[in-house]
Structure 1
Amino acid sequence: MTASPRTIARRRAIAAASTAVALALALAACGSSNDSSMPGMDHGAKPSVSSAAQATPSMSTMPGMGTMADGNGLSDTKDGYRLTSQDTTLPAGKQAAYRFTVTGPDGRPVTDFAIEQTKRMHFYAIRSDLTGFQHLHPTMAADGTWTADLAALAPGSWRLFASFTPNAGTGKGTAFVLSRTVTVPGTATKTSLPAATTSTDVDGYTVTVKGSPMAGMEHPLTVNITQGGKPVTDLQPYLDTYAHLTAFHEGDTAFAHLHPQTKVNGDHGGPELSFHAELPTQGNWRLFLQFQTGGKLHTAAVTLNVD
């Protein structure tokens, strides 16, 4: 049966309208995709680790780069993984061994960990006033029990962080930072946090931090190292990078690991080092920069204010 001219015209109008709608949706999708790939874009929600990695694929190829952990590390449990320990107190003024285990969603100790920056486990200790920073690499027994040999601790409340990536199970490839607190008995004397500044001195070196990160946004951060006013160009690799940068938030000791982006080229690092920073909360952060020269490890600390 042959359709009337009016019916044919109506069909053509509907088809044209459908094509226009489809084209508009396609263009909107393209525009949304481009926006989400822009560095630092939030769109009202924090991107997942996987989406952040897809947005900046080149970062995963940088020396020492691992998957950035999600969260502030202030819990002992995440996604079924738990940091457990029977140690609730540690002695003051002398070396102490802290023993702990990471259990998986099945409740069993995890023993298979991926290597991140040359180590299977990074362990940090910080006192509640952000003093006494220690960065260790504990050893694991066959049953999954880890032992971190801590240097002498001052009396007070300490938070101990375990940073790791399971190499098997449901959390395979996911970076975790879990923590627990311990008490070191004795009279605790609180140290006031040094004021925010752009530079500090350590072991004859001057470390200058450049950048103005905003809370919750990805932002580049650079560190410049000089000695006697002259640029330092003999930094040695440490943990497969030229510097390791860790940050803790004043008040709650929230954790942030700032990932290096400077390519390693033998013992010729410096004077400027680049980092990928995402500090989730406003306020003062205490940054601890570790770098190596002449076989000696240096640790510089500086306070950074984040808007």
Structure 2
Amino acid sequence: MFASTRPAVRRRALAVAGTAAALALALTACGSSNDGSSSMPGMDHGAKSSASASAKATPSMGDMPGMDHMADGNGLSDNKDGYRLTSKDTTLAAGKQAAYRFTVNGPDGKPATDFAVDQTKRMHFYAIRSDLTGFQHIHPIMAADGTWTADLDTLAPGAWRMFASFTPDSGAGKGTAFVLSRTVSVLGPETKTPLPAAAKTAEVDGYTVTVKGEPMAGMARPMTVTVTKDGKPVTDLQPYLDTYAHLTAFHEGDTAFAHLHPTTKVNGDLGGPELSFNAELPTSGNWRLFLQFQTGGKLHTAALTLNVG
């Protein structure tokens, strides 16, 4: 009797071992897919797990200026992962300077006050009208209670979107980059401006900015920007926000946000004429690019339209 039962016992043991191995393999696969799913184009990549996975996959990225804290996604929501952008300002007056006040509430519902420095600032604030005009990039001031004040230049009537870009330095979101936004109505009759046609060059204050590269929706692609004046290379670009140029983009139609991260390191007091960026635009269509650079202590902002396939 004992001789006849041993083969059955062995078969059951092998079956159990096989099931355990299959289960372990499935769990390993699930763990891999969780990391990968957060890197899908157009998805918010604020989770620290996906950020660490990206860092392991591309260790050189941490050496790039502006790459330590990258906020992916389109920035069109006022909340993410428990953090919420709040403001009592829903309307602003047209034709004059205005102060926009806001707070960033943490997962506990209280205003967050501890923010990491990113490109020399703890908060980057952007304002753009629905027709992608009136671009403003501001570094607001925070009061002790966590209330930020962004001093806006004159606003034209229409629908505006206000973006806050930040990285908490403590709490559940420590080290995670966020871009949140809210809409504001600027009172008065609105006159929309048609979006300029796509172009590879733009003029500002006597400078010519030329963009090279073929960005693809949802893919990280290299892009270079060359700055010239009177046909000659500009080599006296001064550091601005820990880089030689700051590049921001907004999508036509929904005003989705993208920050094109610089990869040219600041090496000395002056730079140029060619600057490199890591362009990752989440959706196809027309994007309005705003390049900010500084010479002789003066900040210049060049704007051009880029079509992304």
TM-score class, shorter-chain normalisation, is 0.7 to 0.9
Q: Which amino acid in the other structure matches residue 218 of structure 1? A: A
CA distance in 2, matches of 1:46, 1:127: 23
Distance in 2 separating the partners of 1:50 and 1:274: 24
Cα pair distance change 1:44/1:239, threshold 3 Å: closer
Q: Given the superposition, is the C-alpha separation of residues 105 and 46 from structure 1 closer, same or farther in structure 2, using an over 3 Å criterion?
A: closer
Q: Give the equivalent residue in structure 2 for 1:208.
A: 210
Distance 1:76 1:242 in 2: 30
Instruction: For 1:6-25, list aligned pairs within 5 A.
Output: none
Shift of 1:50: 3.0
Q: Amino acid of the residue matched to residue 146 of structure 2?
A: G
Corresponding residue of 1:94 = 96
- Partner of residue 139, structure 1: 141
CA distance in structure 2 between the partners assigned to 1:118 and 1:248 by the alignment: 22
Following superposition, the deviation at residue 42 of structure 1 comes to 6.4
Letter in 1 for 2:58: T
- What SS class does the counterpart of residue 220 from structure 1 fall into? strand
Partner residue of 1:11? none
1:256 maps to which of 258, 261, 277: 258
Distance (whole Å) between structure 2 residues aligned to residue 143 and residue 278 of structure 1: 35
Q: How much has 1:173 moved relative to structure 2?
A: 0.2
Percent identity between the aligned chains?
A: 79
Tell me what 1:226 maps to. Answer: 228
SS of match in other structure, 2:91: coil
Tell me the residue number matched to 1:183.
Answer: 185
Distance 1:115 1:198, change over 3 A: same
The aligned length equals 277
CA-CA distance at 1:54 after TM superposition? 2.4
For residue 52 of structure 2, the aligned residue among 50, 58, 66 is 50
CA displacement, residues 132-172 of structure 1 (integer Å, 9 cap, x when unaligned):
00000000000000000000000000000000000000000
* Aligned residue in 1 for 2:174: 172
Q: How many angstroms apart in 2 are the aligned matches of 1:72 and 1:50? A: 20
Which whole-Å CA distance do the structure 1 matches of 2:193 and 2:121 have between them?
Answer: 32
Q: Give CA-to-partner distance per residue, 1:69-118, whole Å, 9 cap, x none.
A: 13210000000000000000011010000000000000011000000000
Q: Kindly tell me: are residues 62 and 44 of structure 1, through their superposed partners in 2, closer, same or farther at Cα, counting changes over 3 Å?
A: closer
Which residue in 2 is equivalent to 1:80? Answer: 82
Moved segments of 4+, more than 4 Å: 41-47
Secondary structure of the residue that 2:53 maps to in structure 1?
Answer: helix
SS in 1 for 2:225: strand
Mapped to 2, the partners of 1:50 and 1:92 lie a distance apart of 44
How big is the shift at 1:45? 8.5
State whether structure 2 residue 263 is matched by structure 1 residue 242: no
Between the aligned partners of 1:45 and 1:179, the Cα distance in structure 2 is 16
Correspondence for 1:67: 69
Match of 1:127 in 2: 129
Measured at CA, do residues 95 and 263 of structure 1 come closer, stay the same or move farther in structure 2, by a change above 3 Å? same
* Among 163, 178, 195, the residue aligned to 2:165: 163
Q: Residues 44 and 164 from structure 1, CA distance in 2 versus in 1: closer, same or farther, beyond 3 angstroms?
A: closer
Higher mean Cα deviation, 285-294 or 68-77? 68-77
Q: Is the 8 A contact 2:115 2:122 kept in 1?
A: yes
* TM-align CA RMSD: 2.4
User: Gaps spanning 5+ residues in structure 1: where?
Assistant: 1-13, 19-24
1:64 deviation in Å?
Answer: 3.5
Partner of 1:269: 271
Which residue type is aligned with residue 228 of structure 1? D
SS at match of 2:306: strand
Classify the secondary structure of the residue corresponding to 1:110. coil
What TM-score results when the alignment is normalised by the length of structure 2?
0.85
Give the Cα separation in 2 of the matches to 1:131 and 1:289. 14
Q: Does structure 2 retain, via aligned residues, the 8 Å contact 1:158–1:182?
A: yes
Instruction: Name stretches of at least 5 consecutive residues in structure 2 with no aligned partner.
Output: 1-13, 19-24
Distance change in 2, residues 1:233/1:143 (3 Å): same
Deviations 1:201-224 (A, max 9, x none): 100000001111110011111101
Give the equivalent residue in structure 2 for 1:289. 291
Shift of 1:263: 1.2
Find the aligned partners of 2:183 and 2:131 in 1 and give their Cα distance. Answer: 13
Relative to structure 1, the CA distance from residue 46 to residue 78 in structure 2 (aligned partners, 3 Å threshold; closer, same or farther) is closer
